[in-house]
A and B are shown apart, each in its own frame.
Chain A
Amino acid sequence: MALELKYLKSKKQMDFKKKFIEIRDIYKSYRRGNLIIPVLENISFDIVEGEFLALMGPSGSGKSTLLNLIAGIDKPDSGVISIQGVDITTLSETELAHWRASNVGFIFQFYNLIPVLTAFENIELPLLLTGLSKQERHEHVILALKIVNLEDRMHHFPGQLSGGQQQRVAIARAFVTDPTILVADEPTGDLDRVSAEDVLELMTRLNFELGKTIIMVTHDPKAAKKARQIQYLEKGIMHAHPQIDV
């Protein structure tokens, strides 16, 4: 396995001390008609490289909102989100799409696979945005399929796979481009216990063996325990420990 995974590791040398993600003074509110709903207020924290962070908190506390900001699919009202020295809040929409393509891997609660594409094609999808040749893409996809242990299912469509298998395909799609960070919003929220364990195990391996930086939003304390660190978001404010019982 170690040999096979070389390409995923070689991209950068791990450096746990260096500040990897810096989040400073983030404000985010939504507008509903004339009403302005503040969601995040004055959020600041850092994430080191190789971190596996679990983000917990009650429903509606803004966990997904925060994750979306870090993943570059939404913009804060004010504040700085610096990832490897790039303040992504200043990027244009086109630049941001390019940035996401090479820096972010997404894992969703409902897998979000493209139903008309096979497992192989779903995993290949983000690679189409890289400069890789067809041959290289093929190699990457096959390797990713091996890691999630679904080589025998690569020509299956999502509808022909179980929830757990679909989520593993989705995870393969998330890391196949070797992104800087992996973001996961309730990755086990729709899975049974056994499948959830599989998925968490896979994510732990991605973190431990490949040094992937992972930010995971979850309601499940068992899932959160797999992380290196847990942060709690309550009423738009971050805490190291839960203020109320969740």
Chain B
Amino acid sequence: MRIFFLYSLRNLLSRRLTTILTGIGMCLVVFVFASILMLSEGLRKTLVDTGSYDNVIIVRKGATSEVQSAVERHQAAILETQQEIALGADGKPLFAKELVVLINLPKRDSDKPSNVVIRGIEENSLILRQQQIRIVEGRMPKPGSSEILAGINIAQRFKGAGIDESLTFALRNWNVVGIFDAGKTGFSSEVWADADQLMSAFRRQAYSSVVFKLKDTSEFDELKSRIETDPRLTIEAKREVRYYADQSEAMSSFLRILGMSLTIIFSLGAIIGAMITMYAAVANRIGEIGTLRSLGFQRSSILLAFLMESLLISLIGGVAGLILSSFLQFFTVSTMNFQTFSELAFSFSLTLEIALMSIFFSIIMGFLGGVLPAIRASRMKIVDLLR
């Protein structure tokens, strides 16, 4: 077994150029494969981390995002009186009525406009997100003023969104008095303003959503069924984590489908490349195969030796591709969140599962590329091999 491994490896080394070229093909495919999985995983993590398990978000029935949702003032008032809502230090419910609007802002580097989420918040909004959010610069805005907080990704990438700068929208100037970091969550790509100021600036009558914290998370199901069947309320209640996970679903699966189609096309190329390499290897070593067979090696050993060669190339290529893609973790990308049509920044995320899948994928490619040439090598008759 050891000698077969050695034999395959030395053969690969002896035709270095074709080995490297074939390996590069495999490497690129695995790179694309891994990076798309990492992208989709990074997106999922970002959106899922945005939610907290004991927070509940209320949107209009059927709304897939807060942008499309509306919760009327009287509905919000009914919701605020629910007994399951946790109380804050001041004895009032930990309950926030929020407004989400999209505005167009120019980017710092290109001046190109892009959508940004502006969230109208109440004091409780910050308490409800205290696990995710940290003010990193400046201070909290005064309630009832046109002072705003910018998420760190927005502050960096959009004109006028930095500390002590100001943004203009809805015919008003909004001063940025603080920058908050919400880690890898979607909040980092939002601007937060006073909800009432935002409502009047945009002439909105209804909130977009209502968020509150549960006293006891196990009461969620009961509360949900009660408020969703209340004839005065046409709303839907979701755990915040569930809500953001659902949001990531569509994007992730879009990315996955796009990525998989790309990888399948590329991998066909790589497999054919490996096949050509291996057919050439078999053709070059016809006499060698004949010699091995006459010495008493079985057909299966020949099959194995050539298959091993192809698997080795693909494994080396695959590992190289994976290493290459792991560097992507240091990059942050921004993309359109198709659920809200706003900018969302997130990074590539490499998990053990993705690493294993990539290696497995490269092995599959090596197998598919090597199996036919290997079968051919093992099928021929000894006398024909030795002629």
A106 touching B294, Cβ below 8 Å: yes
* Cβ of B383 under 8 Å from chain A: yes
B293 touching A97, Cβ below 8 Å: yes
A129 touching B293, Cβ below 8 Å: no
In B268-306, which residues have CB < 8 Å from any A CB? 287-288, 290-299
A101 touching B295, Cβ below 8 Å: yes
Task: Report how far A98 CA is from B300 CA in the complex, Å.
Answer: 13
Task: Report how far A102 CA is from B381 CA in the complex, Å.
Answer: 20
Chain A residue at smallest Cβ distance from B384: A74
- Chain A residue numbers with a CB within 8 Å of B386 are 73, 108, 112
* Cβ of B7 under 8 Å from chain A: yes
- B13 CB, min distance to chain A CBs, angstroms: 8
Task: Report how far A117 CA is from B4 CA in the complex, Å.
Answer: 11
* Cβ of B10 under 8 Å from chain A: yes
- B303 CB, min distance to chain A CBs, angstroms: 13
- Chain A residue numbers with a CB within 8 Å of B295 are 100-101, 106, 125-126, 129, 173
Chain B residue at smallest Cβ distance from A126: B295
- A134 CB, min distance to chain B CBs, angstroms: 10
B11 touching A116, Cβ below 8 Å: yes
Task: Report how far A124 CA is from B295 CA in the complex, Å.
Answer: 11
In B126-170, which residues have CB < 8 Å from any A CB? none
Interface of B is mostly: helix
- A206 CB, min distance to chain B CBs, angstroms: 18
B291 touching A126, Cβ below 8 Å: no
- Chain B residue numbers with a CB within 8 Å of A93 are 299
A129 touching B296, Cβ below 8 Å: yes
B296 touching A116, Cβ below 8 Å: no
- Chain A residue numbers with a CB within 8 Å of B110 are none
Chain A residue at smallest Cβ distance from B381: A74
- Chain A residue numbers with a CB within 8 Å of B218 are none
Count of chain A residues with a beta carbon within 8 Å of a chain B beta carbon = 28
Chain A residue at smallest Cβ distance from B10: A116
A117 touching B14, Cβ below 8 Å: no
Among A71, A102, A125, find the residue whose CB has the most chain B CB atoms closer than 10 A: A125
Among A112, A116, A126, A129, find the residue whose CB has the most chain B CB atoms closer than 10 A: A116
Task: Report how far A117 CA is from B2 CA in the complex, Å.
Answer: 13
- Chain B residue numbers with a CB within 8 Å of A98 are 296
* Cβ of A121 under 8 Å from chain B: yes
Task: Report how far A128 CA is from B4 CA in the complex, Å.
Answer: 10
Chain B residue at smallest Cβ distance from A96: B296
Given A73-B383, A73-B386, A74-B382, does the pair A116, B14 have CB atoms closer than 8 Å?
yes
- Chain A residue numbers with a CB within 8 Å of B287 are 110, 112
A129 touching B297, Cβ below 8 Å: yes
A97 touching B291, Cβ below 8 Å: no
* Cβ of B3 under 8 Å from chain A: yes
In B306-355, which residues have CB < 8 Å from any A CB? none
- Chain A residue numbers with a CB within 8 Å of B299 are 93
In order of increasing CB-CB distance, the 4 nearest A-B pairs are: A101-B296, A116-B10, A112-B291, A73-B382
The 23 sampled A-B contact pairs (Cβ below 8 Å) are A73-B293, A74-B382, A94-B298, A97-B296, A100-B294, A100-B296, A102-B296, A106-B294, A112-B287, A112-B291, A114-B7, A114-B291, A115-B14, A115-B288, A116-B10, A116-B14, A117-B7, A121-B6, A125-B3, A125-B292, A126-B296, A128-B3, A173-B295
Contacts beyond the supplied A104-B296, A106-B294, A116-B7: 14 A-B pairs with Cβ under 8 Å: A73-B294, A73-B383, A93-B299, A97-B296, A97-B297, A101-B297, A108-B386, A110-B287, A114-B292, A116-B10, A117-B3, A121-B6, A125-B295, A129-B296
